[in-house]
Amino acid sequence: MTDQTISTKPSPEAIAARSVLLGRARWGWPEIAFWAIAVALYFLMPTKLMLLSEIAILGLLALSIDLVLGFAGIVTLGQGAFFGIGAYTAGLLARYGMGEAPWSDPLLGLLISGGVAAALGFVTSFLVLRGSDLTRLMVTLGVALIVEELVNQMKWLTGGSDGLQGVMPSAVMGVWEFDLYGKTAYVYSLTVLFVLFVIARRIVKSPFGLSLLAIKGNPLRTRAIGMPVNGRLVLIYTIAAFYAGVAGGLVAQTTQFASPDYVAFHRSADALLMLVFGGAGHLYGGLIGSVIFRVMQDVLGNITPQYWQFWLGMMLVLLVLFIRGGIIGLLMKMRGRIMRNRGPSA
Amino acid sequence: MLTILFDGVAYGMLLFILAVGLCVTLGLMNFINLAHGAFAMAGGYLTITLMQRAGVPFLLCLPAAFIFSAFLGLILERTLYRHLYDKTHLDQVLFSIGLVFMAMAMVDYAYGANQQIVDLPSYLTGRLNFLGASIGVYRLFVIVICGLLALGLQLILTRTRFGSRLRAAVDDGRVARGMGIDVTSIFAVTFAVGSGLAGLGGALGTGIISFDPTFPLKYMIYFLIVISVGGTTTITGPFLASILLGVADVLGKYYVPAVGGFIIYTIMVLVLILRPQGLFARGPAR
């Protein structure tokens, strides 16, 4: 029995696994550059801060879809439900909080929005555990439709199709008031996005994130090696709902408005498109996609206001037919080619 | 009461004609085509154009809409859709949503965002009294035409050589191919006929539902409900599902308008969870 003392030293395998995980989690210079640019934009484009803030929020919504689609492989068309729930929660808190702490405090509002969305996400996550892609698609869409219907019908609470008016969040941390130029809005949205992004990055680079990728690759085999597939899916779906809820809360606070439009089908579809434009499964895909999506919407929308949808559809068709993996996929392919060319000569 | 029931059945029949093509193509190629409504919209707007601008009689517009949409479907299938059969469901969804967006913008560009209304010929607009219920002639017309079409489709599917090939291909495409059945061309034909039926449904629908550029998105939900409840392996399943949906929708809108689409969506989600292969389908879904 004496030789069976419990060793506190990690085994060589554990050390190797640890270094692999740490290696995956290291910050590369393109990532640092990305966030540096995001901060620099505050000073470079002082007239476009509302737009930038909206991009950051859309990026967060796309990020939440990336968590379920890019990492766990769940095709969803219903993330707008959580976004909308978050928007209405934050909006109602700010409206009936009457500018009094703590209820109209923006940060607390975000937490509650995310929490309510996560609760709905947890309940509905059990519906997406089973079935094929088509079933999941229709279930997520169905949940979003039910939420949209509720928002439209509960006029006494949500203002119906007129939207929720009079959303007045108090100053962020009691110091920074929301202004017309979007200064506070952008810094606030970007900060929230960054914090949640770092957490998401931590999540997907962890062993839990790896297990999600395994589930995406092959759920049956993952179950066979003893992974609690359903539990993992419930967890990530709930987390993603939290993210979408926070994004919705942000939009209600920064624009001081919430409308049934936030729950509508095209909201979920747009966010999915942004993610796919950028490339799913890299975390940055949604962020890059939202920048491109919104900028193109601005530019093309100025040329032909109504028919931007046409170009959007066209881009989608071309994307699916020719550029798999979105922009990040394209960049990685290019990098791979350069590396290969450089390889033999070095 | 009977009148509403009758309206519901007419509406359901219409939904069946609109959605049946989608059910068969989905079962056949496992291809999620969310753009199916765009073909129906093409048929509807063709009818509106022909009648309003060229003065073509309504009854002639129906076959024209069928041929137009079928042709459109055939071209798109051969040029675009066939590249997507082996891609993931996500790609198929994105691709067909892209098509829907393009179709919506094009219709918006050509006709504007207003709802389009068609003046039906006078012999289709009256009402009949039957067993104390007042029945719209046009609804009766829709029921007769759609009923005949459903019967015809069922006969083609069960009694002809093409039908047996189609059923074999739906049951197991790989084995069917191995037996020398040309699944690809069967699919092309089915896709074209399905699109054509959607176009015909759109043309018939001009008298019942109003058309505007958001049609493909609005009715996409209904098609998906028909599929999820009816399953994709038979024609009778989607048929019963369509009638149920039509009656439930009309009854719901008439008696409890406040609840809106709530009941229908809830039923869809419930059916999907409890019976993923559809209410009337045999065997588990693939």
| Stated pTM of the model | 0.84
Cβ–Cβ of B228/A314 closer than 8 Å?
no
* Inside any domain, residue B63: yes
Compute and round to an integer the Cα radius of gyration of chain A: 22
**What tens-digit pLDDT sequence spans chain A (346 residues)?**
455 555 567 777 777 777 777 777 778 788 888 888 888 888 888 888 888 888 999 999 999 999 998 888 888 888 889 999 999 988 888 877 655 666 667 888 888 899 999 999 999 888 888 767 778 888 888 888 888 888 888 777 777 777 777 777 767 766 677 776 778 888 889 999 999 999 999 998 888 888 888 888 888 888 888 888 889 999 999 999 999 999 999 998 888 888 888 888 888 888 888 898 888 888 888 899 999 888 888 888 777 766 778 888 888 888 888 877 778 888 888 888 887 776 554 3
CB A38 within 8 A of CB A218: no
Residues in chain A within 8 Å Cβ distance of B272: 127, 131, 135, 138-139, 142
Of A307, A315, A320, the CB nearest to B105: A307
* pLDDT tens per residue, range B21-79: 888 778 777 788 888 889 999 998 898 888 888 878 888 888 999 999 999 999 998 88
Q: How far apart are the C-alpha atoms of B280 and B147, rounded to whole Å?
A: 19
Q: How far apart are the C-alpha atoms of B10 and A46, rounded to whole Å?
A: 58
* Inside any domain, residue B256: no
Residues in chain A within 8 Å Cβ distance of B267: none
The answer to ipTM > 0.85 is no
Residues in chain A within 8 Å Cβ distance of B260: 149, 152-153
- H-type alpha helices, chain B: 2-29, 36-49, 58-79, 89-111, 137-159, 161-171, 173-178, 183-205, 215-230, 236-255, 262-274
* pLDDT exceeds cutoff 80 at B281: no
Give the per-residue pLDDT at B75: 92
Under 8 Å CB-to-CB from A186, ≥6 apart: which residues?
A42, A49, A50, A52, A53, A56
Give the per-residue pLDDT at A236: 93
Burial class (CB in 10 A: 0-12, 13-18, 19+), A29: exposed
The tokens for B217 are: 């998105």
**Total domain count, chain B:** 1
Of B84, B100, B265, the CB nearest to A313: B100
* Inside any domain, residue B152: yes
Give the per-residue pLDDT at B114: 76
* pLDDT tens per residue, range A11-33: 777 777 777 777 777 787 888 88
Residues in chain B within 8 Å Cβ distance of A137: 32, 89, 93
Q: How far apart are the C-alpha atoms of B189 and B70, rounded to whole Å?
A: 9
Q: Say if A323 is an interface residue toward chain B (CB within 8 Å).
A: no
CB B244 within 8 A of CB B15: no
Q: How far apart are the C-alpha atoms of A275 and A329, rounded to whole Å?
A: 12
Tell me how close the Cα of B209 comes to any Cα of chain A, in angstroms: 20
Mean pLDDT of chain B: 83
Cβ–Cβ of B90/A131 closer than 8 Å?
no
Tell me how close the Cα of A17 comes to any Cα of chain B, in angstroms: 32
Residue type at position A183:
K
Tell me how close the Cα of B253 comes to any Cα of chain A, in angstroms: 13
Q: Which domains does chain A have, with CATH numbers?
A: 44-345 (1.10.3470)
The tokens for A200 are: 């998401």
Cβ–Cβ of B98/A314 closer than 8 Å?
yes
* Inside any domain, residue B252: no
* Inside any domain, residue B219: no
Q: Peptide bond before A102: cis, by omega within 30 degrees of 0?
A: yes
A104-116 per-residue burial string, b: 16 or more CB within 10 A, e: under 16: bbbeebbbbbbbb
Burial class (CB in 10 A: 0-12, 13-18, 19+), B152: exposed
Residues in chain A within 8 Å Cβ distance of B222: none
* pLDDT tens per residue, range B75-116: 998 888 888 887 888 888 889 888 998 998 888 888 877 777
Tell me how close the Cα of B111 comes to any Cα of chain A, in angstroms: 13
Cα A244 to its chain centre, rounded Å, is: 6
Cα separations in angstroms, B111 against B42, B49, B67? 12, 9, 21
DSSP letters for B250-285: HHHHHH-GGGTTHHHHHHHHHHHHH-TT-SS--S--
CA-based nearest residue in chain B for residue A308: B105
* pLDDT tens per residue, range B176-220: 888 888 888 888 888 898 899 999 998 888 878 778 888 888 888
* Inside any domain, residue B189: yes
Cβ–Cβ of A149/B262 closer than 8 Å?
yes
* Inside any domain, residue B55: yes
Cα separations in angstroms, B71 against A244, B125, B146, B188, B194? 42, 30, 21, 11, 11
Tell me how close the Cα of A73 comes to any Cα of chain B, in angstroms: 10
* Inside any domain, residue B234: no
Tell me how close the Cα of A239 comes to any Cα of chain B, in angstroms: 22
Give the per-residue pLDDT at B196: 92
Q: Strand B133-136 relative to strand B127-130: parallel, antiparallel, unpaired? A: antiparallel
Residues in chain A within 8 Å Cβ distance of B224: 138, 141
Cβ–Cβ of A320/B91 closer than 8 Å?
yes
Tell me how close the Cα of A267 comes to any Cα of chain B, in angstroms: 13
Enumerate residues 133 to 152 of chain A having a beta carbon within 8 A of any beta carbon in chain B. 133-135, 137-139, 141-143, 145-146, 149-150, 152
- The pLDDT-based confidence of B284 (bands split at 50, 70, 90) is very low
Cβ–Cβ of B98/A313 closer than 8 Å?
yes
**Mutation to test the B interface, candidates A120, A123, A138, A322, most B Cβ within 10 Å:** A138
Question: Which residues on adjacent β-strands are paired with residue B133?
Answer: B130
Q: Find the domain containing B117 and state its range.
A: 10-214
Q: How far apart are the C-alpha atoms of B109 and B103, rounded to whole Å?
A: 10
Under 8 Å CB-to-CB from A126, ≥6 apart: which residues?
A234
Burial class (CB in 10 A: 0-12, 13-18, 19+), B255: exposed
